[in-house]
Copies of this chain bind each other. A is one copy, B any other.
Amino acid sequence: MDNFKESDYMTTDRILAITDGIFAIAMTLIVLTIGVPSVSGPVSDASIQKALYTIAFPFFNFVLSFILLAMFWTANHKQLHYVKHVDSVFLWINIVWLLFIAIVPFSTEISGDYSGYTISQLIFNLNLLGIASLLYLNWHYATKKGLINKKMDKTKIKSIKLTCLLFVGVSLTATVLSLIIPKWCSTVYVALLVLERFV
């Protein structure tokens, strides 16, 4: 039990509290990445409509980031529901994971502003790859170190692992695609919504 040295003051409830906070803020803050477009020339319904076309991609990007953040939030809650002990390594995996979550408003904005370029899409997709990988690492560490509920059946442990691997696979695909077809690489995340049903 030497591994759980610090678990007496830090619990999953405390980690969930800061996680909920950072997710709620990141998920709301990304709306600022859209930005109300300024109309050029005289203001009219037609000119506002024209200005709105320029934010079509940033808007799609915002919706995508929101849904992906919600999926990561759900997946993390699923994991922490079964974690019974917290040690300092587990705590810090979660903190670094939250650092990658906090970067999402930045990578969403850069990817929305420069939608057709490899480098901006690479930043966005590497951000997501980092989140997915740390989520996998989190579960891998928790199960390996025996931090989870001992009565948990093996099918469920494996199912959570598979979800993480699916996230890693899809964001890895998007990362590779951003080198080839930067404009359309994000569409691969739509596959996630379909594939997650089968895990």
Contact = CB atoms under 8 A, between A and B. Distances in A.
Interface of A: 8-10, 14, 16-18, 20-32, 34, 36, 39, 43-45, 48-49, 52, 63, 66-67, 70, 73-74, 77-78, 81-82, 91, 95, 98-99, 102-103, 105-106, 109-110, 113-114, 117-120
B66 A31 contact: no
Nearest to A91: B74
Given A14-B20, A48-B114, 14 more contacts: A8-B81, A9-B81, A20-B21, A20-B24, A21-B21, A21-B25, A22-B24, A27-B102, A28-B29, A29-B31, A43-B117, A44-B117, A70-B95, A74-B95
B18 A99 contact: no
Give the number of times this chain occurs in the complex, counting copies: 4
Contacts of A21: 20-21, 23-25
A91 B66 CA distance: 14
Contacts of A114: 39, 43, 48
Among A24, A29, A103, A110, chain B packs the most CB atoms within 10 A around the CB of A24
